[in-house]
Amino acid sequence: MRLIAPALILLLASPAAAEPVREAVAKDMPALMTIYRDLHSHPELSFEEVRSAGILAAEFKRLGFAVTPGVGKTGVVAVMKNGPGPVLLLRTDMDGLPVPEQTGLPFASKAMGKTREGQPTPIMHACGHDTHMTAMIGTARRLAAMKASWSGTLVLIGQPAEEIGIGAAAMLADGLFTRFPKPQYVVGFHDSANIPAGVIGVKPGFALANVDSVDVTVKGLGGHGAYPEATKDPIVLAARIVTTLQTLISRELDPQDAAVVTVGSIQGGAKHNIIPDEVKLLITVRSYSDATRTQMLDGIARIARGEAIAAGMPQDKMPVVTVKDERTPATFNTEPLSGRLSALFATRFSADRVTTPPASMAGEDFSRYYLADKSIQSVIFWVGGVGKAAWKKADGDVSKLPSLHSPFWAPEADTVIETATEAMTAAALDILKK
């Protein structure tokens, strides 16, 4: 997927004229990079972000925010009331991933933890949440120092458990919009492994996808592999289901729509010459609209049952299809805020440093803040993290680059943090301008 012509890298604009926010952010960068390296070296898994939350909370408190820890288990909420005006919520996520770091960075993570299933695992900030937290601290510093330039209420949140898709819901369930000032605007950012470092991407409308996990238990009648006629083979039936599922996309979905149905795991059998009684399929389903999501989920159930009937399975051996409750809803960037921020960033950074990327099939629980109240104006934007040399070497072909969640993903952190801090600060000053 090519987002920006390779030649654009040569245009990553000459620095704009001296400007107070930019100068203050640049001056703060050495201190911010110290924080970043510390956060990167000490990642924590979902709902275990105690140390990370403590760093955010201590910084916010030092700056004069009213700070509440432990919201949604390990989340942090910081509030600064500064006169009349709208309520703006800025969000950062905090959790790392069960990934063994292979970046070769001198401050690479050596942290260990346990998965939700209790298995020991290395931990890494393989999705850049360390850059997100650092930029939030930088933004908080700038806005606290510039209180004379804005009016309204600023709410900063450190959100847990984005990587498992339930941290935002946990904070909302713990009273984020009732115990604290309810926002009219919600803004966040995410580093990108698909965009050159320092380039900002804003995608109006659907920006990230619905993500559903589906388990299909394919039943059969096991037996000896030498006598298949005496069995009902669930492995063959599972193979039929996997193949037919692809027609949901190729033959049932409008070609101008988009969805993904990926079977990520097939589990069944234990020996060469034994036909098992059961096979399990683990499926991820990605979509944008609720209608397409329903079409895909209903289609999976229909195809599983239809193939079982074709295989001669009795009614008590029909597949069991379970849609897991760990759904992440699609993220929708609202107008007019999307256009407003795109124009703001283009003016501040130059048009060459702002792009409109395609929507992503990745998921983000940032969506839940807008879905909790659709009167909210909500935008999550991208900040490119691919260094100039790496982008040039790949000729803009991101398949040749480490992706988010890769053990090799090491964004050009200083560029991400400096760009995001300035962009988030500028967005807040614009939304809360007097």
Tell me, yes or no, whether 243 and 154 share the same domain. Answer: no
Asked whether 355 and 195 are in contact (CB, 8 A), the reply is yes
pLDDT band at 6 (very low <50, low <70, confident <90, very high): very low
Interatomic CA distance for residues 142 and 390, integer angstroms: 31
The mean per-residue pLDDT over the stretch 409-431 comes to: 98
The mean per-residue pLDDT over the stretch 357-383 comes to: 97
Angle between helices 20-41 and 129-145 (to 10 degrees): 140
pLDDT attached to residue 223: 97
> Is residue 423 situated within a structural domain?
yes
End-to-end C-alpha distance for the chain, whole angstroms: 41
Q: Which amino acid is at 378?
A: S
Largest CA distance in the chain: 82
Tell me, yes or no, whether 152 and 249 share the same domain. Answer: no
Asked whether 341 and 202 are in contact (CB, 8 A), the reply is yes
Tell me, yes or no, whether 371 and 409 share the same domain. Answer: yes
Tell me, yes or no, whether 387 and 352 share the same domain. Answer: yes
- Flag whether pLDDT at 7 surpasses 50: no
Tell me, yes or no, whether 300 and 235 share the same domain. Answer: yes
Q: What is the CATH number of the domain that holds 340?
A: 3.40.630.10
pLDDT attached to residue 53: 98
> Is residue 1 situated within a structural domain?
no
pLDDT digits (tens, 9 = 90+) for 130-157: 999 999 999 999 999 999 999 999 999 9
Tell me, yes or no, whether 173 and 27 share the same domain. Answer: yes
Mean pLDDT over each residue of the chain, to the nearest integer: 95
The mean per-residue pLDDT over the stretch 47-74 comes to: 98
> Is residue 122 situated within a structural domain?
yes
Of 258, 233, 262, 259, the residue nearest 245 (C-alpha) = 262
The alpha-helical segments, DSSP class H, found in 108-266 are 129-145, 167-173, 234-245, 247
pLDDT band at 18 (very low <50, low <70, confident <90, very high): low
For 235, what's the count of Cα atoms within 13 Å in the CB-facing half-sphere?
A: 15
Q: Which amino acid is at 433?
A: K
Cβ neighbours of residue 291 closer than 8 Å, sequence gap 6 or more? none
> Is residue 237 situated within a structural domain?
yes
Q: Is 325 helix (H, G, I), strand (E, B) or coil?
A: coil
CA torsion, points 18, 22, 28, 29, in degrees to nearest 10?
-100
Number of residues that this document lists for the chain = 434
Single residue among 304, 323, 342 that ends a domain in this structure:
323
The mean per-residue pLDDT over the stretch 10-15 comes to: 41
Question: How, if at all, do strands 200-201 and 354-355 pair?
Answer: parallel
Tell me, yes or no, whether 292 and 400 share the same domain. Answer: no
What's the token pair of residue 411? Answer: 């964004």
- Flag whether pLDDT at 15 surpasses 80: no
Interatomic CA distance for residues 369 and 366, integer angstroms: 6
pLDDT attached to residue 326: 81
pLDDT attached to residue 396: 83
Q: What is the CATH number of the domain that holds 314?
A: 3.30.70.360
Interatomic CA distance for residues 208 and 364, integer angstroms: 7
Please report, for residues 55, 136, 154, 398, 418, the alpha-carbon distance to residue 144 in angstroms, rounded to integers and kept in the order given.
17, 12, 10, 38, 17
Of 60, 55, 53, the residue nearest 76 (C-alpha) = 53
pLDDT attached to residue 1: 38
Tell me, yes or no, whether 412 and 272 share the same domain. Answer: no
pLDDT attached to residue 8: 46
Which residue's structure tokens are 């401050």? 107
Tell me, yes or no, whether 385 and 302 share the same domain. Answer: no
pLDDT digits (tens, 9 = 90+) for 394-408: 998 999 999 999 999
The mean per-residue pLDDT over the stretch 209-234 comes to: 97
Tell me, yes or no, whether 353 and 311 share the same domain. Answer: no
Single residue among 296, 323, 350 that ends a domain in this structure:
323
- Flag whether pLDDT at 120 surpasses 60: yes
Query: pTM of whole model > 0.85?
Result: yes
Positive or negative CA dihedral for 127, 128, 132, 137?
positive
**Cis, peptide link before residue 183, omega less than 30° from 0:** no
Domain count, the chain: 2
Cβ neighbours of residue 415 closer than 8 Å, sequence gap 6 or more? 197, 198, 384, 385, 387
In which domain, by residue range, is 178 found?
Answer: 6-208+330-431
Single residue among 298, 323, 348 that ends a domain in this structure:
323
pLDDT digits (tens, 9 = 90+) for 272-299: 999 999 999 999 999 999 999 999 999 9
Interatomic CA distance for residues 101 and 128, integer angstroms: 12
Percentages helix, strand, coil for the chain, rounded to the nearest 5? 40, 25, 35
CA gyration radius, the chain: 24
> Is residue 279 situated within a structural domain?
yes
pLDDT digits (tens, 9 = 90+) for 26-40: 999 999 999 999 999
pLDDT attached to residue 13: 39
Tell me, yes or no, whether 343 and 277 share the same domain. Answer: no
Please report, for residues 249, 292, 309, the alpha-carbon distance to residue 258 in angstroms, rounded to integers and kept in the order given.
8, 8, 29
Tell me, yes or no, whether 306 and 337 share the same domain. Answer: no
> Is residue 283 situated within a structural domain?
yes
